[in-house]
Amino acid sequence: MMADHVLSDLQHGKAECRVVKVDRASEVHVLHDLNVTTQLRGDFATAYTEGDNTHVHATDTQKNSVYALAREHGITSPEAFLLVLAEHWAAQPWVTGTWFAAEQFTWERLAANGHSFVRSGQDTRTAWVQTYGSVDGEAFVLGGLKDLVVLKSTGSEFHGFPRDRFTTLAETDDRILATSVSATWRYGSRQARPSQEQARSTEDIDFDAAYDAVRAALLDAFATTHSLALQQTIHAMATAALDACADIDEIRIECPNKHHFLVDLAPFGLDNPGEVFFAADRPYGLISATVTRSGAEAEPRAWVGVG
Ligand SMILES: O=c1[nH]c(=O)c2[nH]c(=O)[nH]c2[nH]1
């Protein structure tokens, strides 16, 4: 009976290792505050079928590796740190693939001295690295952000949509457009190799500069696009990001449409010329798209397991 069943998609690792690294090279300290998840793929089947753990790299060991490699290699950016983890784990026995994710929280240094900080920014930076094969196999790097909440109080319209017997939505040429942007982008494949030789090419990429350029482009496109639909704004943000950062080949954006409904104040003898809104929290529209640089190849393996 057992032989009829097929075991697949084995992965194990440690979720949400919170690591805070303080660079103390000068009196002006630098903080990196990450939430790291590790996952290994490989020849681990006998742990599942027989409880034989001979090949199982304990999730506790994976957690320890996060802290030890932070000390040995430092943390410059979430992407670079995940590449360090990938290089380490891809070289271990029985590992045929790896998957790492990180969130990075932002701290802003206070003016008083070099070692006091305030958490800043509601949005969170994200990154993923995954590898296929052992040391010289292929690796893919994604960067991103989530919870980037933006709103414009005019410059947004929505009309021309089909009407059927269930349609009640009024057409509008002036509404609030509000959303919480989740964006994930793929760095060009030349950057991503955990082997010694290819690791050098990852040094060519300034992941922090790329992140800053993409985030700024997303915000600028949101603000400056006169929107006829959130779909159009998403497309404008994605193309602006690709134009702003040559290091990325593909970007996925998902946006909830955070509806703001004009309140009918007529029962109170008041007009409402686009001033008083009810901010609904649910249900919300949910709109997404991927835009790939012209001529770049799609890399579905980069996105496996990335929600
Ligand atoms: O920008 C929008 N896109 C839609 O697809 C949609 N659907 C809807 O009801 N309102 C909106 N707004």
- Output the known binding site for urate: 59-60, 158, 175, 231, 257
More confident residue, 3 or 221: 221
The pTM is what?
0.94
Encode pLDDT of 135-152 as tens digits: 788 999 999 999 999 999
Gap from CA of 285 to ligand 1 centroid (Å): 7
Encode pLDDT of 158-216 as tens digits: 999 999 999 999 999 999 999 999 999 999 964 444 444 444 355 589 999 999 999 99
Q: How many CB atoms lie within 10 A of CB 244?
A: 18
Average pLDDT for the chain: 94
The average pLDDT across 220-224 equals 98
- Output the known binding site for O2: 257
Gap from CA of 229 to ligand 1 centroid (Å): 6
Q: Which amino acid is residue 24, in one-letter code? A: R
What is the reported pLDDT for 139?
A: 92
Q: Which residues line ligand 1 (CB under 6 A)?
A: 158, 169, 229-231, 257, 285
Q: Which of 158, 175, 258 to mutate to test the pocket of ligand 1 (most atoms within 8 A of CB)?
A: 158
Q: Is this complex's ipTM strictly greater than 0.90?
A: yes
What is the reported pLDDT for 134?
A: 80
The average pLDDT across 80-92 equals 97
The architecture of the domain spanning 1-135 is Roll (3.10)
Residue 91: pLDDT band (50, 70, 90) is very high
Judge residue 221's burial from the number of C-beta atoms within 10 Å of its C-beta, 0-12 exposed, 13-18 middle, 19 or more buried. buried
Residues 245-283: b if buried by 16+ CB within 10 A, e if exposed: bebbbbbbbbbbbbbbebeeeeeeeeeeeeeebeeeeee
**CA max distance for the chain:** 77
Gap from CA of 259 to ligand 1 centroid (Å): 9
The average pLDDT across 85-98 equals 97
